[in-house]
């Protein structure tokens, strides 16, 4: 009777153990993928902000030159560009630190 009970429950127990470890690996993989997607999204946002600040500054410069306006009108756009560039550099630094800590 004891041996029959063992052989009857052994497959279920083995499948349960295998599924536990498989699910654990899947969870780790999913977390890693989610982290990678979050970083990629932040990277794209920061790059887009720098690109838009550059475009705004270039456009305003062209208009200022065309109209002969003083360059003081460009100061807010220069500050916007510098801020976006600093955010981008900060993000790059964070990624370098994160990549060195993972190794």
Q: What is the pLDDT of residues 13-65, one digit of tens each?
A: 999 999 999 999 999 999 999 999 999 999 999 999 999 999 988 888 888 88
Dihedrals phi, psi of 31, to nearest 5 degrees:
-65, -45
Query: φ and ψ at 68, to 5 degrees?
Result: 70, 25
Top pLDDT among 66 and 24 is at 24
57: CB partners within 8 A, 6+ apart: 74, 77, 78, 80, 81
DSSP state of 69: -
Torsion angle defined by CA atoms of residues 7, 11, 14 and 15, in that order, rounded to the nearest 10 degrees: -170
What domain range includes position 11?
Answer: 2-102
Say yes or no to pLDDT of 69 above 80. Answer: no
The structural domain count of the chain equals 1
């Amino acid at each position: 009777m004891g041996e029959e009970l063992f052989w009857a429950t052994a497959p279920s127990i083995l499948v349960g153990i295998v599924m536990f470890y498989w699910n654990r690996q899947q969870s780790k993989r999913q977390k890693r993928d989610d982290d990678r997607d979050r970083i990629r999204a932040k990277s794209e946002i920061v790059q887009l902000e720098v690109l838009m600040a550059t475009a705004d500054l270039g456009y305003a410069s062209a208009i200022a030159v065309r109209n002969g306006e003083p360059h003081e009108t460009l100061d807010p756009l220069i500050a916007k560009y510098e801020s976006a560039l600093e955010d981008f550099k900060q993000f790059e630094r964070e990624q370098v630190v994160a990549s060195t800590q993972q190794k």
